[in-house]
Amino acid sequence: MGTHRDSPAARAALGRVVVSNDQIARRIPELARQIVAAAGDGDDDIVLIPVMTGAFIFAADLVRCMPVRMRITLATISSYPGTSTTSQGIRPLGDLPGNLKGRRVLVVDDILDSGRTLNFLREQFMAQRPAWFATAVLLRKTIPPAMSTPCEFVGFDIPDEFVVGFGLDYDGCFRNLPEVRVLHPEGRA
C-alpha cells in the first residue's frame, strides 16, 4: 500500500471481512433503485453531494446505477483526522454546496456512526429549502447515535468496530480494499 514502515498504518493489522465485495455489488443497484423511486420525477437534475473523501468509491458505484440526470458537487468534511479512530467533531474543509432551493438533493456518505456529519449537513442543506432531501450511507453502525440519526438509505448495518476499505481509511491508507474489513490500529490481529 505504499505506507512508510514507521507509520501507524504500516503497524495496523487487517481483521475479518465485515461486508464482502460481492455483497456490496449486489446491494448498490438495489439502493440506487430505491433512491430513484423516492426522488420521483422532476423537471430538474438530482444534486448528488458525496462527502469526501470516504464516500468517493461508494458514490461512483451508486451513480452508475442511477439512470437519471444529475449534478455532482462535493462536500469535504473532516471528522477522523490522521490516525484517529473516533470522531473528532465536524470541520468543513472549504465551502459547502449552495443554490439548493427547490432542488432534489441526495447526500452520500461512507459510514454513519456518531451522526454528526449527516446531522450537520442536513441542517446546512435543509436551510436552503430543497424540494426533496435524503441521505444515503454505505454503512451504519448499530449504536444508539447512528440508529437515531435520520438516514433514508442504508446499505448495511454493521457492528461497532473500526473498519476500512471501499473508501474508508486509516491514516490515509486502505481506501482501495474492495471489501470492508475490521482494522486493528495497534497491529493486533
Residue 88 pLDDT: 59
Q: Which long-range contacts (CB under 8 A, 24 or more apart) does 154-157 make?
A: 154/112, 155/19, 155/24, 155/27, 155/28, 155/31, 155/58, 156/19, 156/23, 156/27, 156/180
CB of 166 closer than 8 Å to CB of 177 = yes
> Quick one: which of 173, 64, 47 has its CA closest to 108?
47
Name the helix (H) or strand (E) containing 36: helix 21-39
Domain range summary for the chain, segments of one domain joined by +: 21-158
Say if domain 21-158 classifies as CATH 3.40.50.80: no
Q: Give the residue numbers marked as catalytic.
A: 113
What is the mean pLDDT, run by run of 10 residues, along the chain of 189 residues? 60 91 98 96 88 93 96 82 55 75 96 93 95 97 97 98 95 94 78
Query: pTM higher than 0.75 for the full model?
Result: yes
Query: What is the overall mean pLDDT for the chain?
Result: 88
